[in-house]
Amino acid sequence: MNFELTDDQKQVRDMVREFAQKEVAPYIQEWDAKGEFHREVLDKMGELGILGLPIPEQYGGSGFDYVSLALACEEVEYVDTFLRVILSVHVGLNSLALLQWANEEQKQRFLVPQAMGKKIGTFGLTEPNAGSDAGSIETTAVRDGDFYVLNGAKMWISLADVADNFLVFASLDRSKKHKGLTAFVVERGMEGFTTASIKGKLGVRAGNTGELAFNNVRVPVANRIGEEGEGFKIAMSCIDQGRFTVGAGAVGLTRACLDASVKYAHERETFGVEIGRHQLVQQMIAKMALGYETSYLLTMKAAECKNRGGRNTRETSMMKWHACDVALQSADDAIQVHGAYGFSNEYPVERFWRNSRGAVIYEGPREIHTILQALRALGYREDKPLSHPQLPAVGFELEDLVTAG
């Protein structure tokens, strides 16, 4: 594996860094304190091509690889988690799923405008009574001629109030549990479909989070993604993509904790010396530095696996689990380094901690990732090939053919 970034990857990293530092960093403390979501940020990300970063140019995207996507996630979450959440739901959980599972007509109708930033996509799996246990989903779909009639609710949906296209999952037969799930694109404006904001969140306060309600929503058969009963497979492949963006973003959050702590350790003095001279402060900073490097390396490994296509659930799960745990510990240590000041919003580390807390819950809590990795290590679980495998990144198909030849 080559650890040297290509010119294209450096270009993406630098472009996203400039955007985040210029358009968001000067205002994020205020936005977070007020719980404000600024739609103009989405529009700017669309103009820059960030919302279609890994989508092929033929579908309106920028055609970059998964290393570039990881670098983008790292750079935006270095500034604030709400930016990475946009990439997670719009790109990871929705657009990449459409690239993998949608038919050509659906790609032209939904994926192209999303990749161009003209439409915003999100993902709806979690419900008031169903999270990690997708087989307990209560939202139902009933076939009625050329339509499906959806009834139910979704909870904790990022971009709920601003998205145009919602990739949601409903059960055609609840007795079949996860085998009864089917995927649909619900469009804003469909009769009976409503959204509402969720307030009072611990973290990601500058982001939009809400709930969805379906009251006899008639969804055309043409909006069904995949076949009936394939919903669970589609949802799990979506989550593979979402987990990747969450883990990559956590790398940026750890780096932000490290940089803030190093800066403060040089500025603050106790007992006549910089606090960076105290060994237990050094220990916390050393742990952050180590955690950043290990998280980055696991992310690059997962990115290379994704670049070549095929199943990468094990690698993606491991990097998400590790990187998010490291980010949470780093944020906790960063507060400790800052002492009492870390307990106030005068410094950003309390926001880092609040934001890091959610990442060890969503896209599979760390307990599930622990179990999954143990089952694979013990040989009790093996990932089976998907009927619609994840496509290689742009440019890697030719490389694979040349290698095979």
The distance of Cα 319 from the centroid of its chain, to the nearest Å, equals 13
Set 75, 127, 187, 363: catalytic member: 363
Distance CA(62)–CA(48), nearest Å, equals 10
**In the annotation, is 363 catalytic?**
yes
Q: Which positions are catalytic?
A: 363
